Amino acid sequence: MTGKSRYSGTRLAESSRRLLETHLPPGWSAVLPGSGPGGPGECPLELRSPDKKVARLDLRCRSQVFPRDVIDLKEKGRTATVLVAPFLSVATQRRLRELGLNYLDLTGNVRLAVGRPGLFIETVGATKDPAPAPGARRSLKGPKAGRLVRTLCEFPPPFTLSELATRAAIDGGYASRLVTWLAREDLLTRRPRGPIDAVDIVGLIRRWADDYQVLSSNVVASFLDARGISNLTQRLPQLGVRYAVTGSLAASLLAPVAPPRLAMVYVAAVEPVVEALKLRPADAGINVMLLLPFDEIVFERTSQVQGLTLAAPSQVAADLLGSPGRGPNEAEAVLQSIAPASHVRS
247-261 in b/e form (b: 16+ CB < 10 A) is bbbbbbbbbeeeebe
Residue 73's contacts (CB-CB under 8 Å, 6 or more residues apart) are 60, 65, 81, 83, 101
- Mean pLDDT lowest for which of 115-119, 121-125, 128-132, 161-165? 128-132
Largest CA distance in the chain: 76
Q: Where are the beta strands (DSSP E) in 89-246?
A: 102-105, 110-114, 119-123, 188-190, 196-199, 219-224, 243-246
pLDDT in tens, 25-36: 999 999 998 755
In angstroms, rounded to a whole number, what is the distance separating the alpha carbons of residues 170 and 50? 60
Range 285-309 average pLDDT: 96
pLDDT of residue 311: 98
**Pair 112, 82: CB distance under 8 Å:** yes
pLDDT of residue 3: 41
pLDDT in tens, 238-285: 999 999 999 999 999 998 888 899 999 999 999 999 999 999 999 889
Q: Classify the phi-psi angles of 33: left when phi > 0, otherwise alpha if psi is within -120 to 50, otherwise beta.
A: alpha
Fold of 143-211: Arc Repressor Mutant, subunit A (1.10.10)
pLDDT in tens, 71-125: 777 656 555 789 999 999 888 998 899 888 999 999 999 999 998 898 999 999 9
User: Which amino acid makes up residue 149?
Assistant: V
∠87-132-317 over CA atoms, to 5°? Answer: 75
Residue 310 host element (H or E): strand 308-310
User: Which amino acid makes up residue 326?
Assistant: R
pLDDT of residue 137: 57
Residue 242: CB atoms within 10 Å: 13
In angstroms, rounded to a whole number, what is the distance separating the alpha carbons of residues 329 and 248? 10
Q: Where are the beta strands (DSSP E) in 86-193?
A: 102-105, 110-114, 119-123, 188-190
Where along the chain do its domains lie?
Answer: 9-123, 143-211, 214-338
User: Which amino acid makes up residue 176?
Assistant: S
Range 154-173 average pLDDT: 95
Name the pLDDT band for 139 (thresholds 50, 70, 90): confident
In angstroms, rounded to a whole number, what is the distance separating the alpha carbons of residues 317 and 43? 42
**Pair 67, 83: CB distance under 8 Å:** no
* Residue 168 predicted with pLDDT over 60: yes
pLDDT of residue 1: 40
- Mean pLDDT lowest for which of 14-18, 63-67, 196-200? 63-67
- Backbone phi, then psi, for 309, in 5-degree steps? -90, 115
